[in-house]
């Protein structure tokens, strides 16, 4: 569903529920991470791009201090609270917590807010690793920024979205998803330093296509697996005497007291090597060397499979099929937090039909699950529609 249709869907729902037309429309995109997985909360490097799947809000001010949230995609289910009272997570509308948290942290940081009617819809696939939660957080912040003319930067909106996910949704995510949703650039990926939040735009030529294959094996990172991985990385940093794994080298890891082959060792090995791959992959993409880009993507996938242990058989099979179809003309890997979700591939645009045909011929036959395939182009980050 393109942006215009999402906007109309939100507008119609807003009118139906609120009885008057929305005044303001904003969007925030989902993202696909080309390389750099589980490096963001280790102060490392990532290379995501915003994609043309997004969360869209239709909204208007209210003068009574009430925030009313309307979920267009959940049969117009509503949640409401008063902006100048304490805002807490709700137990029965989990989708609303991502939005409640953003408004809570905007308030906590001293921004002056009032009431609003907010209708939210979107087409970022849920549980797929394309960051539907970050899009929801960022679009909420963007709506309040526009409605109340807040002097808040896009980077600060991303940090507020991250705080919401940590404290209202219970997932200790890194900053990548929110930052690319807030700050993405059309036709570019961003090489993002998750410590300094400095970024470098990495141009993706028009002759290169991004294919995302949704395995439809769904994950939920709030169930503890993500947080457990993060704790193992923090333990590795402590044992290495580093602020974060970003500061460690593979030589230091091998010379440390961490037992080789242990879970803590393997997690650290992935993160340290993944940081090196991500920076090198950005250089290869800038140089237009798709063969080298592919080598880094396949190495990233192997590391996620063997060291971080976050892939599943369906995901590994998709990467196997993509690798066979692409040869040395592109690359593929799992993308997202793991345990299902999506794979991403970069390839010459003329190869898209044959690669898509290979996935369609083999994946369902092997797994019994019908995949979804998205061909994406890098988009701008959050803003007014």
Question: Which amino acids are annotated catalytic?
Answer: 177
A 10 A CB-CB count for 58 gives 30
Give 72's DSSP letter: G
Strands 77-82 and 383-384: unpaired
Cβ atoms of residues 301 and 333 within 8 Å: yes
CA gap 137, 244 in Å, rounded: 26
Backbone angles phi, psi at 193, to 5 degrees: -85, 110
Copy the structure tokens of residue 42.
């280790």
A 10 A CB-CB count for 66 gives 14
CA gap 245, 228 in Å, rounded: 16
Give, in order, the Cα–Cα distances in Å from 169 to each of 88, 93, 100, 164: 11, 11, 10, 7
Burial of 290 (0-12, 13-18, 19+ CB in 10 A): buried
Identify the residue whose tokens are 């920076």: 279
Copy the structure tokens of residue 315.
């995901």
Copy the structure tokens of residue 36.
């750099």
């Amino acid at each position: 569903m393109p942006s215009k249709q999402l906007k109309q869907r939100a507008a119609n729902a807003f009118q139906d529920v609120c009885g008057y037309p929305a005044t303001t429309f904003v969007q925030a995109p989902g993202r696909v991470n080309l390389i750099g997985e589980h490096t963001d909360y280790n102060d490392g490097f990532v290379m995501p791009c915003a994609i043309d799947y997004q969360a869209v809000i239709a909204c208007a001010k209210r003068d009574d201090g009430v925030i009313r949230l309307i979920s267009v995609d959940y049969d117009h289910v509503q949640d409401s609270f008063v902006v100048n009272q304490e805002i807490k997570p709700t137990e029965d509308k989990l989708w609303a917590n991502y939005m409640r948290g953003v408004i809570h942290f905007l308030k906590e940081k001293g921004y002056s807010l009032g009431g609003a009617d907010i209708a939210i819809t979107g087409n970022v696939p849920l549980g797929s690793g394309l960051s539907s939660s970050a899009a929801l957080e960022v679009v909420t912040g963007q709506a309040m920024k526009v409605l109340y003319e807040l002097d808040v930067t896009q980077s600060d909106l991303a940090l507020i979205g991250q705080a919401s996910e940590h404290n209202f949704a219970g997932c200790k995510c890194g900053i990548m998803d929110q930052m690319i949703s807030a700050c993405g650039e059309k036709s570019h990926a961003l090489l993002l330093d998750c410590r300094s939040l400095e970024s470098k735009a990495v141009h993706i030529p028009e002759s290169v296509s991004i294919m995302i294959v949704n395995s439809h094996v769904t994950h939920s990172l709030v169930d503890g697996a993500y947080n457990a991985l993060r704790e193992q990385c923090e333990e590795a940093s402590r044992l290495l005497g580093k602020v974060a794994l970003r500061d460690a080298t593979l030589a230091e890891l091998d010379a440390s007291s961490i037992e080789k082959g242990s879970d803590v060792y393997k997690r650290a090995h992935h993160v340290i090597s993944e940081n090196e791959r991500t920076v090198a992959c950005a250089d290869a993409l800038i140089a237009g060397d798709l063969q080298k880009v592919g080598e880094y993507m396949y190495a990233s996938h192997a590391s996620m499979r063997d060291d971080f242990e976050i892939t599943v058989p369906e995901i590994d099979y998709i990467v196997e099929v993509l690798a066979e179809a692409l040869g040395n003309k592109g690359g593929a890997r799992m993308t997202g937090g793991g345990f299902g979700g999506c794979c991403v591939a970069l390839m010459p645009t003329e190869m898209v039909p044959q690669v898509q045909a290979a996935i369609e011929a083999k994946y369902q036959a092997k797994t019994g699950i019908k995949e979804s395939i998205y061909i994406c182009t890098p988009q701008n980050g959050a803003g007014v529609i």
